[in-house]
Structures are given as structure tokens and as C-alpha cells.
């Protein structure tokens, strides 16, 4: 009951005209950013974050804007996946498998509308999950002391390493680089300057906005340079534009199943939408067995990843809001946004800033409705935007990035640092290091060190405090499982290879 | 190969940073850990990771492509020049120049690129500075505008 009251209060916040306007704007921008190949939710949020800050938006409005962009990207990613066979963002890779064949069969309209509804159902189920579970978890999370937090963050990083699969070592390295970047600047407890190399501009650390824009926008521009070629043609959405009732009932349970699974995966810290969509696609494929036409245009193969990636996007807000530990790269950026406003996400957020939390949750409902309404009739308009050539797009991204970074401190140093980090990020990406792990590490870095040192201050330097309580012991156990997973997979693959050889 | 190269240079970098980090000492002991332990721990872990990658770099399908590398270098130089001239030349001029150069790099034709570049410089300045209240440097235009 209490929750319902809070939710009502949240709707009141979200329905304020300026917040509605921001949700609408965010949804629109998000869809476009998500749709453009190469640009994903992190880029969208990263581009708008400095703007929101520079505009002096109040925290709840800024968060609503960013959440709308996040959701919008998950909606938008599918458009280019279906029409171009190019995933608009990483999570839409699975959508191309069945979406593009459907478009080739002249069912682009059906595929687009059905995937919009899948996205909608996925998000709504997950948002209901957020409403139900977030307050519970927040209450429970109050029991977390600094030692437990420290272990939780180790778990989050281990999750990344364990889930991202084929390159656990590189993922962990990327997270460590992120953690190390966060140590630059004045040490908050003792006031010692660390890794500043005598530069005044580095003394309060590398600004979060610069890291995000450098690593994501600038390195993206460099990556796009290689992929620029002309003559990519989108399939025209023609024929029947809306799916019929039979197609809807055929895929309904797939959507619900995938949404629930996506939500659960999303709530795990570190595991995000990409993993959710891949896992649900595989599950549905296995469940359908030989009756499915997966890979040749099965509607279920379209519905499953779309429902799952939106559900996990919403689900990843849970660890962010309740624990202050991001569930995905994008929520890591959003945590950075909150800290810019001097709000520390965590269990107390629900008591201290109910407007922010519940306004955000309510705006998820509203944002989804806006996106659904916007996406079905406006698909033609959006798909026309796919033809914006790179020679217009790239300069625009560059200029907006520069303005975003310049707005923080107004120094040339920051701009040069951004370019430098961008080049570094580009090299890391060429070498296959996942940058989302890096950004997660960067966000967690300061929190992690603070919590470790606070814990050890409590125990007067005794390391035992780190595995003292049942919560931390449980988290250590889970961490061990996550770290063991790549090893297990490797062992199973080897055994399968041996069996095949015999 | 490239991963090995990266891992080796990162290992060296870690060593240098570790030497620097060794010097972090607080004048008073505020907490039992101090400012030195955590960065050193991270550096040690990173060094271990680099060693692992040095020994087992894994597969990487990446070919060095001279043309692509040249274009990437040009792009980086453009961005650097843009960053350095942002304040001196002012937003409008530096943006127009950078957008033009980037447009050309991304296979645009010169005249449409020039048009969009100039439009971008002027329109985005108006958008950010007047409508969105993000202060941007005027640079060379300062003389023309009374403030």
C-alpha cells in the first residue's frame, strides 16, 4: 500500500509538464541514437548528460531525461537491425537474426510493429518488477556496511568477467584500468595528490563526463572512420504495417517469458541487455525445437530478444537505485549523473529523495507509452533518418561532444584530455577490450576505495572484517562462482572437442 | 601480436606508476590503509593481468591497414587541432573548420561539406549559447559582439 502511495507521488512528479516534455524529447532522441548504427544507449546518455547538467535541470528531470533516452535506445536499436541488418546497438544483434529475414520477405512493417510491442511488454513487466522489488531490496540493503559494499562491488566486477564470456581476462583488465583511472586526483581521506603529474586540472580527478565522452563518442568516431562506405540500402517498410491478432497471440508467451528472464538478468550487477537478449533467444530457439524457423524469420525470434533487452534495461535500474552499484554500462553513466548532482545512489535514496526515485519509476511507465505511441506511426520517419550520411553525422557528434566537455570546466585541457582518452579507448576497442567494463570500473572506483578504507578503519586494519558477516561471505561465494564460470565453459568446450575427436 | 605489444607496454607503464605511487605518503596517519595501498594493489593486479595477456594473448583478427591507419591519424589530428583551437579561434570558426575537415575525411563532397560545416558552426552556437545557456567561447568574434 505504501508503495502505491509513493508510486502515485511519483506519477505526480513525472506528469509535471516540464518532465513530460523531457521524457518526450528523451524518447525521441533516444530512438534516433539507438537506431544509428554504432551509437548505443551509453553514447546517447553520455551526449545528453553534460547538456542536462549545463541546462541546470533539477535532478529528477535530468534523470527522467536520461532514462527516456536509455529506453528509447533499446527501442531504436531494432529499427536498423530489421531494416538494414545492422544492429543499432549491441543488444540488437540478436534482433537482426530474424528481423532482417522478415524484412526481406516483405514483412518489415509487421516486424517493426511487433517488435515495438515486444519492447513495450518487456519494459512494462520489468518496470512492475522494479516497483515491487526495489523498495524491498532498498530496505534490505540498509544492512550493508562498508565491508559488504566492497565485496558487492568485487562481485559486480566478477559478474562482468564471468558473463561476458569469451574474453574474461580482457574484461577484468578493462575494469581494472577503469578503477585505476578513478584514483587520479586528490585522495579524499588524506589529501595526498595521486597521479596528477603536477597538473592543476587533474587535481580533483578526471571528470566523469570527459571519460565517458572520450571513451565512447571520440573512439566511436574513429571506429566509424573504418566502416564508412556508401551504398547501404535500407529495406522499405511496405505492405501490412500492423501485425494481426494471431501473430500477437503466437508470440505473447515468448514475450512474457523473455521479459521475466531479461528482468532477472538485468538486475544482476554487471550483466546487461546484450547478455539478456542472447540468452533468451537461445532459450526460445531450444524450446521451439524443430517447429521454429529461427534464423529465417521466426516472429518469436524477433519478440524474445526485444522483450528481453528492454526488460533488462529497466531491471538494471534496480541495483543502481537500491545499492548504488550499476547493473550495466549505461546505468553506470547514470550513477555518474547523480553524483554530479551530489546525490549518492544507495538504499537511503528511497527515504531521502523519494521524488527522484519514484518520479523516475513513474516516468518509465510514461516513457514506454510515449515510445510505443511514437514508434508505430513514426517508423517511416525514423527509417528515413537512417539515410543521414556519415559526413554530416560525425561532425555533429564531434561538435556536441566538444560542447559537452567544454561545459563542465571551460578549459582547453579537458578537451585535449578527452581526445587523448578517446584515442586510448579506440586502441582498447581495437584490441577487443570491452569498454563498458572500463566505465563500470571507473564509476565504482572511488566508492570501492572509500568503502574498503572505511571498513578497515572500523576494524583498525584487520582484514578479517571483509569476510566477517554472512552477507559478505555469500557475496564472496557468488564471486567465486562467477570467476569460475569461464573456466568451466573452457573445460566443457575442451571436453566436447575431445569427445568429438574420439 | 598487438595484444602482446599492448600488454608489454602496459606492464612497463604499471611499473612506472608503481614507482610514482610508492611516494604517496600522508603526513599524518588518518586511517590504517593510507593513500598508497589501494593504487598499488590495483597496479599489482593490472600487472598480473598484463603478464597473463603477454603469455596468452588469445586470438585477434586484426590486420594493420596502412590506409586506415593514415585516416585515423588524420582524424585524431583534426580532433586535436579542434580541441586546441576551440578557445583561441572561438566556437563558430573552429567548429566550421573541424566539421569541414571531418566531413571530407568521411567521404563527403567538398561543397556540401562546407555548407553543412558553416551551418553547424552558426546554428549550434545559437542553439547552445542563447537557447540552452551553455557559454561558449567567441574567440575571434569577440571584437564584433558587445557584451
Which of 39-78 (B) contact A at CB < 8 A?
Answer: 39, 42-43, 45-46, 49-50, 52-53, 56, 58, 60, 62, 68, 71-72, 75-76
β-sheet bridge partners, residue A186: A193
pLDDT in tens, chain B (147 residues): 788 888 899 999 999 988 888 888 777 766 777 788 888 989 999 999 899 888 887 776 666 778 888 888 999 999 999 999 888 888 888 999 999 999 888 888 889 899 999 998 888 888 777 776 677 887 776 666 554
Look-up of cell digits 543502481? A320
Q: Using CB atoms, which residue from A189, A192, A419 is nearest to B83? A: A419
Is the whole model's pTM more than 0.95, yes or no? no
Three-state DSSP state, A191:
coil
Torsion of CA B34, B35, B41, B44, to 10 degrees: -130
Q: A234 with A84: CB under 8 angstroms?
A: yes
Element spanning A94, H or E: helix A93-104
In a domain, A471, yes or no: yes
Q: Report how far residue B115's alpha carbon sits from residue B120's, in angstroms, rounded to the nearest whole number.
A: 9
Q: What is the rounded end-to-end Cα distance, in angstroms, of chain A?
A: 62
Q: Residue A489 sits in which domain range?
A: 2-227+245-501
Contact across the interface for B17 and A194, Cβ inside 8 Å: no
Measured between alpha carbons, how far is residue A313 from residues A119, A126, A415, B145 in Å?
11, 8, 31, 47
Q: Which of A392, A396, A441, A493 to probe by mutation at the B interface, max B CB count within 10 Å?
A: A392
Residues A135, A321 contacting (CB under 8 angstroms): no
pLDDT tens sequence across A432-468:
888 878 888 887 887 888 888 888 888 887 888 888 8
The answer to whether residue A336 is domain-embedded is yes
Residue A304 neighbours by CB under 8 Å, 6+ apart? A94, A118, A254, A255, A257, A258, A277, A280, A281, A283, A284
Quote the number of domains for chain A. Answer: 1
What's chain B's length in residues?
147
- Distance, in Å, from the CA atom of A33 to the CA atom of A396, rounded to the nearest integer, reads 12
φ, ψ for residue A57, nearest 5 deg = -65, 145
Contact A262, A277 (CB under 8 A): yes
Average pLDDT over residues A390-411: 82
B11 touches chain A (CB under 8 A): no
d(CA B74, CA B103): 12
| Own/partner pairs, B62-69, CB within 8 angstroms, 24+ separation | B62/A430, B62/A431, B62/B2, B68/A225, B68/A226
Given a cut of 80, whether residue A388 has pLDDT beyond it is no
Dist CA A4 CA A11 (whole Å): 10
Instruction: Supply the pLDDT for residue A354.
Output: 83
- Let me know if residue A234 belongs to a domain: no
Q: With an 8 Å Cβ cutoff, are B106 and A54 in contact?
A: no
Instruction: Kindly report the nearest CA distance between residue A333 and chain B, in angstroms.
Output: 21
The H or E element containing residue B134 is none
What pLDDT is attached to residue A166?
62
Q: Which of residues 112-151 of A touch B (CB under 8 A)?
A: none
> CB contact, 8 Å: A460 with chain B?
yes
Residue A240 lies in a domain: no
- Is B24–A169 a contact, with Cβ atoms under 8 angstroms apart? no
Torsional class of A115: left (φ above 0), alpha (ψ -120 to 50), beta (otherwise):
alpha
Q: What is the pLDDT of residues A242-296, one digit of tens each?
A: 778 888 888 888 899 999 988 888 887 766 677 788 788 888 888 877 777 787 8
A233 within some domain: no
Cβ-proximal residues to A330 (8 Å cutoff; 6+ apart), any chain: A41, A42, A45, A70, A73, A272, A313, A316
Is A363 a member of any domain?
A: yes
Give residues with Cβ within 8 angstroms of B9, minimum separation 6: none
Contact A169 B53 (CB under 8 A): yes
What is the pLDDT averaged over residues A394-418?
84
More confident residue, A156 or A366: A366
- Find the distance separating the first CA and the last CA of chain B, reported in whole Å: 57
B38 inside 8 A of chain A by CB: yes
Amino acid at each position: 500500500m505504501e508503495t502505491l502511495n509513493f508510486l502515485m507521488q511519483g506519477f505526480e512528479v513525472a506528469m509535471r509538464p516540464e518532465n513530460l516534455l523531457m521524457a518526450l524529447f528523451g524518447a525521441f532522441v533516444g530512438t534516433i541514437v539507438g537506431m544509428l548504427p554504432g551509437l548505443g544507449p551509453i553514447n546517447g546518455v553520455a551526449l545528453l548528460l553534460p547538456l542536462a547538467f549545463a541546462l541546470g535541470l533539477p535532478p529528477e528531470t535530468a534523470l527522467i531525461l536520461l532514462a527516456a533516452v536509455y529506453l528509447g535506445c533499446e527501442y531504436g536499436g531494432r529499427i536498423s537491425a530489421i531494416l538494414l541488418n545492422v544492429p543499432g546497438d549491441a543488444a540488437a544483434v540478436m534482433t537482426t537474426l530474424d528481423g532482417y529475414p522478415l524484412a526481406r520477405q516483405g514483412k518489415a512493417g509487421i516486424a517493426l510493429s511487433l517488435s515495438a510491442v515486444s519492447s513495450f511488454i518487456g519494459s512494462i513487466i520489468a518496470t512492475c518488477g522494479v516497483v515491487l522489488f526495489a523498495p524491498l531490496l532498498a530496505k534490505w540493503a540498509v544492512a550493508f556496511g562498508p565491508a559488504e559494499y566492497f565485496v558487492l562491488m568485487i562481485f559486480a566486477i566478477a559478474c562482468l568477467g564471468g558473463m561476458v564470456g569469451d574474453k574474461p581476462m580482457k574484461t577484468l583488465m578493462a575494469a581494472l584500468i577503469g578503477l585505476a583511472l578513478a584514483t587520479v586526483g586528490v585522495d579524499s581521506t588524506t589529501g595526498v595528490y595521486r597521479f596528477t603529474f603536477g597538473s592543476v586540472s587533474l587535481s580533483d580527478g578526471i571528470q566523469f563526463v570527459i571519460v565517458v565522452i572520450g571513451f565512447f563518442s571520440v573512439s566511436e568516431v574513429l571506429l566509424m572512420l573504418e566502416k564508412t562506405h556508401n551504398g547501404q540500402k535500407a529495406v522499405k517498410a511496405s505492405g501490412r504495417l500492423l501485425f494481426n491478432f494471431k501473430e500477437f497471440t503466437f508470440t505473447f508467451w515468448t514475450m512474457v517469458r523473455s521479459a521475466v528472464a531479461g528482468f532477472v538478468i538485468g538486475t544482476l550487477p554487471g550483466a546487461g541487455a546484450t547478455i539478456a537478449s542472447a540468452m533468451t533467444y537461445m532459450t526460445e530457439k531450444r524450446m521451439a525445437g524443430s517447429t521454429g524457423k529461427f534464423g529465417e524469420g521466426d516472429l518469436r525470434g524477433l519478440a524474445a530478444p526485444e522483450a528481453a533487452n528492454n526488460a533488462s534495461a529497466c531491471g538494471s535500474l534496480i541495483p543502481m537505485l537500491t545499492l548504488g552499484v550499476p547493473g550495466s554500462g549505461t546505468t553506470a553513466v547514470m550513477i555518474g549523473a547523480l553524483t554530479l548532482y551530489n546525490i549518492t545512489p544507495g538504499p537511503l535514496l528511497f527515504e531521502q529523495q523519494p521524488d527522484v526515485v519514484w518520479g523516475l519509476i513513474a516516468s518509465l511507465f510514461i516513457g514506454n507509452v510515449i515510445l510505443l505511441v511514437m514508434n508505430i506511426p513514426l517508423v517511416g520517419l525514423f527509417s528515413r533518418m537512417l539515410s543521414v550520411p556519415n559526413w554530416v553525422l560525425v561532425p555533429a557528434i564531434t561538435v556536441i561532444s566538444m560542447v559537452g566537455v567544454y561545459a563542465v570546466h571551460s578549459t582547453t585541457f579537458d578537451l585535449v584530455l578527452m581526445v587523448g582518452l578517446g584515442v586510448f579507448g579506440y586502441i582498447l576497442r581495437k584490441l577487443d577490450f570491452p569498454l563498458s567494463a572500463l566505465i563500470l570500473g571507473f564509476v565504482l572506483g572511488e566508492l570501492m576505495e572509500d568503502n574498503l578504507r572505511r571498513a578497515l578503519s572500523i576494524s583498525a586494519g584487520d582484514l578479517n572484517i571483509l569476510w566477517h558477516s554472512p552477507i559478505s561471505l555469500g557475496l564472496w561465494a557468488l564471486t567465486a562462482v562467477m570467476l569460475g564460470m569461464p573456466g568451466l565453459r573452457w573445460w566443457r568446450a575442451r571436453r566436447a572437442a575431445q569427445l568429438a575427436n574420439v | 601480436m598487438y595484444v602482446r605489444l599492448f600488454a608489454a607496454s602496459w606492464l612497463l607503464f604499471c611499473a612506472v606508476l608503481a614507482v610514482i605511487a610508492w611516494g604517496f605518503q600522508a603526513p599524518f596517519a588518518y586511517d590504517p590503509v593510507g593513500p598508497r595501498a589501494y593504487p598499488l594493489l590495483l597496479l599489482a593486479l593490472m600487472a598480473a593481468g598484463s603478464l597473463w595477456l603477454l603469455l596468452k594473448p588469445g586470438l585477434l583478427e586484426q590486420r594493420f591497414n596502412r590506409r586506415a591507419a593514415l585516416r585515423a591519424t588524420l582524424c585524431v589530428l583534426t580532433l586535436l587541432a579542434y580541441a586546441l583551437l576551440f578557445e583561441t579561434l572561438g566556437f563558430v570558426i573552429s567548429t566550421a573548420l573541424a566539421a569541414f575537415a571531418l566531413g571530407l575525411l568521411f567521404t563527403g563532397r567538398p561543397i556540401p561539406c562546407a555548407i553543412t560545416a558553416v551551418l553547424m558552426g552558426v546554428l549550434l552556437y545559437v542553439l547552445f549559447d542563447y537557447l540552452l545557456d551553455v557559454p561558449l567561447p567567441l574567440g575571434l568574434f569577440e571584437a564584433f559582439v558587445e557584451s
